[in-house]
Amino acid sequence: MKSDAELVASTLRGSQDAFRELVVRFERPVYSLVQRMVQNPATAEDLAQEVFLKAYRRLDTYDPQWKFSSWLFKIAHNTTIDHLRRGVPETVPLESEDEDHGDLSAVLADAASESPHAAAERRDLGRSLERALAHLRPEYRVAVVMFYAQGASYQEICEVTGLPLGTVKTNLHRARKELAQVMTSLGWGPGGAVASETAKAPAS
Amino acid sequence: MRPHPQDIHDALNRWLAAERADRFEDADAALREMFEALPLLAPAAGFADRVFDQVLSRAGLQPVKRDVFASLGLRLVLAASLIALSLGAIWLPPVLKALGGLVSLSNVVGLGVRAVAGASRGLALVLRLGEWLFSLGRFLSDLLMAPQAMAALAACILVSALAFRFLRDQIFGERSLTYVDPM
């Protein structure tokens, strides 16, 4: 399998297949980051497309010394932050059958082997996590998603966000605290309302 | 492997408990465990194609068409086929000449006449069958035009409708067609 840097070099030499391979390789991480930032599947898809378009146009500025994923996430981060700063009002989709596409609760509930009760629990947890993430400031949100969901290092988050290491660590600490507060207020955790309901429910 | 929902709940509870007790390292580990248990979100199918189309259209590029003759194997097969065809063309005239000696004009005319006679017999058979079906239809329509038959037919339709209604009530009677999320 070719490395990211090799695919970039091939793309710059004119290989369309190489760029397609890069898109396929990074579509899920980029979309995940953007979707968890904007909390809207349609907007997330538009922004993710924009990210790849920008990446294609600026591919000649990519330095192979750096990780390609960090470079791409930096574009994704900046594009998403620009969108959030523009303050474009989000049209939150109504909960319908369409919610099974692209959002966290749908992913959690997507388990054919699960009982309906277990699937409902996962769906509830997914919704709560989405709400809690949406409650965070954008710079906290990106840190949480990159560090916990995508397994990025502090250094990578610094590269992507352009913030110093100390600020990133502080943001992560505060974000985690806020996230916990929101989850607790939503009834999650030992002794919470949701946990009690779960305990009362029959074992499946 | 998909984690069990209980694992995610355990991680969630451990995270929140660690957060309350200010055990930051434990909280970090539990939250990471919880997020790692969740798969990455995915865009709608065909995302890469849509991105690629946009890239091509905005960059004013044309998609590179794959050269089907690029494969060496395909070229060899094609060359072999052309050689076989050329050899065949050399042998074709003598073969046709030999076949021409076997077929005479009277044979061809006789074959044509037999084909026309066979087709005529088939057509006659189809016409007889059609006439018989027409007679049967006329007989049945006369029969159904009688008042008693009309009454029986109407009764059958009525009973069928009632049975269908009963069946529908049995199927949908205790269910709501609209799911209402209690949340």
- Which residue on chain B is closest to A152 by alpha carbon? B32
One-character DSSP codes across A56-80 = HHTGGG--TTS-HHHHHHHHHHHHH
Chain A neighbors of B5, CB-CB under 8 A: 114, 118, 121-122, 125
Residues B19, A127: C-beta atoms closer than 8 Å = no
Range A44-70 average pLDDT: 91
Residue A96 has a pLDDT of 40
- Please state, in angstroms and rounded to a whole number, the distance separating the CA atoms of residues A163 and A167: 6
Indicate yes or no: CB of A27 within 8 angstroms of CB of B13. Answer: no
The average pLDDT across B73-102 equals: 84
**How close A35 gets to chain B, by Cα (Å)?**
8
Q: Which residues in chain B have Cβ-Cβ distances shorter than 8 Å to A24? A: 48
Rounded CA-CA distance B171/A184 in Å is 43
What residues have CB less than 8 Å from A159, skipping those under 6 apart?
A66, A70, A74
Rounded mean pLDDT, A9-20: 88
**Tokens at residue B148, please?**
């008693």
Report chain B residues whose CB lies below 8 A from the CB of A108: 8, 38
- Measured in angstroms, the CA of A108 and the nearest CA of chain B are apart by 7
CA–CA min distance A81, chain B (Å): 19
pLDDT digits (tens, 9 = 90+) for B96-149: 777 777 777 787 888 899 999 999 999 999 999 999 999 999 888 888 888 888
Alpha helices in B60-146 (DSSP H): 72-102, 105-144
Which of B16, B34, B52 lies closest to A23 in CB terms? Answer: B52
Give residue-wise pLDDT tens across range B22-56: 888 898 888 888 887 776 678 888 888 888 888 88
Contacts of B48 in chain A (CB under 8 A): 20, 23-24, 27
Nearest in space to A81 (alpha carbons), one of A42, A50, A127, A126: A50
Q: Write down the ipTM of this complex.
A: 0.72
Global pTM value: 0.59
User: What residues in B contact A23, CB-CB < 8 Å?
Assistant: 47-48, 51-52
Which amino acid appears at position A122 of this protein? R
